[in-house]
Structures are given as structure tokens and as C-alpha cells.
Structure 1
Amino acid sequence: MTLNTILDALFPAGHAVAVANQVLAGEAQTALGPVAVLGTTDAAAIDHAMALALAGTVLDTVEQHPGRPLVFLVDTSGQALSRSQELLCLNGSLAHLASCVDFARRQGHPSLALVTANAVSGGFLSFGLMADQAYALADAQVRVMDLRAMARVTKIAYERLVELAASSPIFAPGAASYQKMGAIAAIWPAPSATLLLDALRDIAQARGAGDQRQSLATTRGGRQLAAGVSRQVEHAVGAG
């Protein structure tokens, strides 16, 4: 599915979105008013320049359009992997991007992310998952780490990880697994202006209620221990 097809389906009232270096930015019209549109396309490996460009768009929106909703379209193969990017402190650039999204939230900007094709590793964690809610198209590929890479890092046999992935979404890639864990609010069968409006309304109504993803993970059976561990940590910190 092409980017223009996705944009036309999400914003039938019109959109003006430009793409440069696999980074998209612009605005679109909805029944709720204009929204800022930004993100990545063509399975972009997010590098230092891309992260700063995205962060700049977020900050420009906060400055020029107070309260305007942010719609993130996510198609990334993860962070760029190269020595040059590490020397440029890509980790700091991604942290800056995440901080800018959080800053926009604190300034009253609702945000929604839609995974249109790929959402991998740091490119997703620092961007799409920082939105108030994340959604994914039905054929989207969502994962933080390939099982073979996970085996190398954790020293757990690949075959054992395959077994674990069959019963636990924590180990399994795919949008459905991330929906069970609460990271993906819902999976959309196709890009839809109606679903987008419903999601923006839900996010607006839920503002101030706190992040509900952990409770969703418990309800959906994706993460049974996380909430309890968090309560124990909070209690320990409060007692200290």
C-alpha cells in the first residue's frame, strides 16, 4: 500500500504532506479540525538527521499550533546501524525525539501512532510507542528484536525462544502480540478516516486518566506480572 493511498484513506478532506529523506511532515484535515502529520516511510532506518527532523516538526507544532493533535505514521526498520551514527550519538538523538513527543503531550497535544508497514526496535520505541496510543494495520510487522538476535543477546537457545514465542506474546513478534501486551491499542483492517476519528476522540476523552497500557496488558493476558511488579516498586519507593 502506497503512502498516498494511506493518506487519502485517513484524510479524505485533504492533506498536504511532504516527504524528504524518508521523513514525512505536513498537515491534514479531519472532522475534528487540522492535525499535524509526521513519520517515516519505506521502512526507514532512523538516523541522526531523521530523528532531529522529526523532533523539529514536533517542536514546531507545539510552538505554532498549540493543542493540535499529532498523527504519527510509522514505517521503520529500526534505528540506523553504523559506526558513524553511533559516533553522532544516535541514542541521544532518539532520546531527544522521545522527549519532544513527551513534551508535546505535556503541552496538551493528543498523539496517535499508526504502524503502516514496519515497526522495529529503537525506531519504534522512541517514536510510535511514545504516542498516547498506537495502532497498527492488519498486515503490519511489529517487533523489537528478531528471535535469532534475541538468542544471541540473551544466550537462550533460539529453539527455546521459538517455543516460548508460541505461548507468550512477550517473545513473539507481530502486531497481535503487541496488542495483547497493551502496546498496540487495536489493529485496523485498513486505513480509515472513521477509525482515526474514533481513536482521536478516545484519546481526548482519556486525557488525564494516566497510561492504561499496563492494565490492558493484564486484561488481555499479555503481561500478567508487570502491574504487580510496578506496584511493588512504587510501594518501595514511597516507603523509602
Structure 2
Amino acid sequence: MQPADILSSLFPAGHDVTEAGGLLTGSGRLDPQTTVDVVGISGKTYPGVDEALALAGHILSITTRPDPAPLLFLVDSGSQRMSRRDELMGLSETLAHLAKALWRAEQAGHRTIGLLYGGSAAGAFIATALACGSLVALPGAWPEVMDLPSMARVTKLSLDVLKEKAAGTPVFAPGLDNLFATGAIAEIWDPARPLCDQLKALLAVTRDDDGRAGWGLERGGRVKAAAIAREVQRLALAHG
């Protein structure tokens, strides 16, 4: 689905979302009573320092408002823009700032939902889609924390060895099905159904905890994380 189709399906009561320089900003109406703030990255844009600061600034401006409107982050990006200029200007710090802006929005009462409808990779994926309180995706999306050729360069393992490991270990592998199995993605939405109904259903669920480690256990993609997290919490409370 293209952004125009996604926005029409999400907001049958209308929206004012605009695109400039590969960034989306605006708001939409799920119904006459429910407004949702929207930010995003579109067109496989590679976010750098300028884009990260612009998105973070927009998100932080939302947190100053008294209303608790949800915040939807649409994502179709490349990896972060690893140009010399961006690296020298503190790319990692500005991406961390963007992730913390999303956390601040959650703390201010705004549910943050990432909707991955295209690609995203590496630091750009971590600081946008994965930094949201909940992450959903549409079929055909292609997330990856690191692609296998890059992983081969870092680990010094052959691409054949990595492909073999990725085939049996979702936490090790790129792609929508693997990220869903690990619990990183809460739901894969059905594009044949109105997206507004699926967003309303997600917003109606009260979250008691993050949930991702539990989903990873249930789906068999990350079977140790939930138990380890519980043990870390127990030890921390015991020595608090």
C-alpha cells in the first residue's frame, strides 16, 4: 500500500498529513471524536541528522499539549544516512534523541504506534519503528536490524554460514516473519480490512507491560528473553 491509500484507510473522517523531504507530519481523524497525530518517513528516505532532529522536534511539540492523542509513526525508510557530514554532526546522538522523544511522548500519555509499511534497517529502524510503544506492520514490509552481508563483514563469518543460521534462528534473521516471531512486531494488519478498525482495536487494548518478550516466547522466536527479564527484575528488587 502507498501512503495515500494507507492514510485514506486509517482516517475515513479525513486527515491533513503532508509530505516534505521524505517526512510525513499532520493528523488524522479515526472518527469525529478521535484525532491521531501522525509523523513518518516515506519513499525509502535515509534519515540523517536533519531528519532525526525535525521528527524529534515535532514529537516533542506534541508532548507539550494537554490532550492525550495517540501518535502514529509511519515507516518506509532506508537505514540511517551514514554520510561523513551526518557522522561528524553526531548521527548516533540525534537518532537516540529521536528514540527518547518517542519515549517522552509515551510518558506524557500519548500512545505511540509504529506502522511499518515498507522497508527500514539498522539505526533508522531502531530509532523509529522499534522505539514506539507498539509496532505493527503491513504484509510486504521488510525490516532488518542488520542485513546478512553487513553481518558477514562485522562477524567475519561467511554469508553461507549466516544464511544457515538465519534459516533456523528468527532473532538472527531479517524480514517481517522473523521480526514477528521474535515479538518485536505486535500485529501484522490485513490491508483488505479497514485500517481504522484495526487501529481502534489496538488502541482499545490496555497494556500492562511491553509484551514483546512474552510474544517472542509464545511464537518461538525468542524463547529465553522473558525468563531472563523476570530474573533480572527479581534480582534488582531483591537488592534494591
Alignment TM class, shorter chain as reference: over 0.9
Match of 1:42 in 2: 43
C-alpha deviation, 1:232, in angstroms: 3.9
Match of 1:192 in 2: 195
Match of 1:25 in 2: 25
Deviations 1:130-155 (A, max 9, x none): 11210111011111111111111112
1:29 corresponds to which letter in structure 2? R
- Counting only pairs closer than 5 Å after superposition, residues 1-240 of structure 1 correspond to structure 2 as 1-31=1-31, 33-190=34-191, 192-202=195-205, 205-206=206-207, 209-238=208-237
Deviations 1:1-32 (A, max 9, x none): 32211111111110001111101100000135
Report % sequence identity. 38
Change in 2 beyond 3 A, CA 1:157/1:236 = farther
Q: TM-score, normalised by structure 1?
A: 0.93
C-alpha deviation, 1:65, in angstroms: 4.9
C-alpha deviation, 1:102, in angstroms: 0.5
C-alpha deviation, 1:166, in angstroms: 1.0
C-alpha deviation, 1:238, in angstroms: 4.5
C-alpha deviation, 1:226, in angstroms: 1.7
**C-alpha distance in 2 between matches for 1:82 and 1:129:** 23
**C-alpha distance in 1 between matches for 2:77 and 2:66:** 27
1:187 corresponds to which letter in structure 2? I
Partner SS state of residue 170, structure 2: coil
Deviations 1:180-239 (A, max 9, x none): 10100111231711111111222xx22xx1211111111110111222333343345445
**C-alpha distance in 2 between matches for 1:57 and 1:84:** 23
C-alpha deviation, 1:172, in angstroms: 1.9
Change in 2 beyond 3 A, CA 1:27/1:163 = same
Equivalent residues, number? 236
**C-alpha distance in 1 between matches for 2:189 and 2:38:** 18
**C-alpha distance in 2 between matches for 1:152 and 1:229:** 30
Gaps of 5+ in 1: none
What is the RMSD computed on CA atoms of the aligned residues?
1.5
CA contact (8 A) 1:43 1:118 kept: yes
**C-alpha distance in 2 between matches for 1:76 and 1:65:** 31
